[in-house]
Structure 1
Amino acid sequence: MATTSNYPEKGGIGRNAGAFDNAQPGFPIYNRRIANPGPLGFYAFAISTFVWSLFAVHTRHVLSSSLGLAMALAVGGLVQLLAGMWMFPTGNTFGATMFSIYGAFYLSLGVIYWPGSGIIDTYSTFGNLNRAMGIYLTGWFVLTTLLFFAAFRASISLVLLFFSLMMAFMLGMIAQYLNSYTINKASAAFGFITTFLAFWLGTSGLVTRDHHFFQLPVGNQLAARRNDVV
Structure 2
Amino acid sequence: MAPSPSAHGSSGGGRSWLANPAPLGLFGFALTTFVISSYNAGIFGVSASDPINVVVVLGIFYGGIAQAAAGILEFIYGDTFAATAFTSYGAFWLSYAALSIPWFGVSEGYSSVLGDTPHADYVYSRAIAIYLLAWTIFTFIMTLGSTRISIALCSLFCLVAITFTLLTVGEFGPYLGAHRAAGFIGIITAIVAWYNALAELFESQEKPLLRLPLGKISQGAAVDDESRHSNRYVVSM
TM-score normalised by L of structure 1: 0.83
Q: Confirm whether residue 89 of structure 1 aligns to residue 84 of structure 2.
A: no
The residue that corresponds to 1:194 in the other structure is 189
Aligned counterparts of 2:11 and 2:178: Cα–Cα separation in 1: 38
Q: CA deviation at 1:178?
A: 0.3
- 1:89-125 CA distances to partner (integer Å, 9 max, x unpaired)? 1111111111000000000001011122221223354
Contact 2:25 / 2:66 at 8 angstroms: preserved in 1?
A: yes
Taking only the aligned residue pairs, the percentage that are identical comes to 28
Which amino acid in the other structure matches residue 216 of structure 1? Answer: L
Q: Confirm whether residue 135 of structure 1 aligns to residue 130 of structure 2.
A: yes
Which amino acid in the other structure matches residue 71 of structure 2? Answer: G
The residue that corresponds to 1:74 in the other structure is 61
TM-score normalised by L of structure 2: 0.81
Match of 2:9 among 4, 8, 20: 20
Match of 2:96 among 106, 109, 113: 109
- 1:112-143 CA distances to partner (integer Å, 9 max, x unpaired)? 11122221223354222211110000100000
The residue that corresponds to 1:26 in the other structure is none
Aligned counterparts of 1:143 and 1:88: Cα–Cα separation in 2: 19
- 1:160-208 CA distances to partner (integer Å, 9 max, x unpaired)? 0000000001110010000111110111122112101110111111112
Aligned counterparts of 1:32 and 1:100: Cα–Cα separation in 2: 21
- 1:10-31 CA distances to partner (integer Å, 9 max, x unpaired)? xxxxxxxxx72499xxxxx897
Aligned counterparts of 1:194 and 1:158: Cα–Cα separation in 2: 11
The residue that corresponds to 1:158 in the other structure is 153
Task: Give RMSD over aligned pairs.
Answer: 2.3
* Structure 1: gaps of 5 or more residues: 1-5, 8-18, 24-28
Contact 1:57 / 1:188 at 8 angstroms: preserved in 2?
A: yes
Which amino acid in the other structure matches residue 191 of structure 1? Answer: G
The residue that corresponds to 1:42 in the other structure is 26
The residue that corresponds to 1:219 in the other structure is 215
The residue that corresponds to 2:42 in the other structure is 58
Contact 1:55 / 1:68 at 8 angstroms: preserved in 2?
A: no
Q: Confirm whether residue 169 of structure 1 aligns to residue 164 of structure 2.
A: yes
Aligned counterparts of 2:86 and 2:132: Cα–Cα separation in 1: 18
Distance 1:88 1:44, change over 3 A: same
Q: CA deviation at 1:220?
A: 2.9
Aligned counterparts of 2:54 and 2:107: Cα–Cα separation in 1: 16
